[in-house]
Amino acid sequence: MTRSYDWKTGCSVEATLAVIGGRWKPVLLFHLLDGPKRFGVLRRMTPNATERMITLQLRELEADGVISRHVFPEVPPRVEYRLTEFGHSLEGLLLQMRQWGDAFKRRREAEETDGAAALDA
């Protein structure tokens, strides 16, 4: 399955966001950095995402060649997702996103703490 793209700006950032953009794709990719995961594990790791949304996001990532899906010939069927070699090239970006997010959360928490302290004074 190949996805089609409507590049509106031609910017490479737009191309990156077309592949990994959205709320759940980066989270799913980050969890796959540790190694292959079954669908149920990914679902438990993203409890606020619906099962349907996780499925759609995984299908798009697979269509873009970022992850691979392996179905084991068992009953009941077992499906495992893993990053492809191309998907592993996102590791630095995902780790930087985590680092930036950690710093942002600390900043916001400090602002909220300072704001609450000012109200108490």
- Return the pLDDT at 114: 78
* The CATH number, out of the four listed (1.10.10.10, 3.90.1300.10, 2.160.10.10, 3.40.47.10), of the domain defined by the range 12-89: 1.10.10.10
**pLDDT tens for the 121 residues of the chain, in order:** 566 767 678 788 888 998 999 899 999 999 999 999 999 999 999 999 999 999 999 999 999 999 999 999 989 889 999 999 999 999 999 999 999 999 999 999 998 887 766 666 6
- Return the pLDDT at 117: 67
Q: Which two tokens stand for residue 13?
A: 């950032």
- Return the pLDDT at 60: 95
All residues at 6 or more sequence positions from 6 whose CB lies less than 8 Å from its CB, including other chains: none
- Return the pLDDT at 121: 61
Residue 103, class by beta-carbon neighbours within 10 Å (0-12 exposed, 13-18 middle, 19+ buried)? exposed
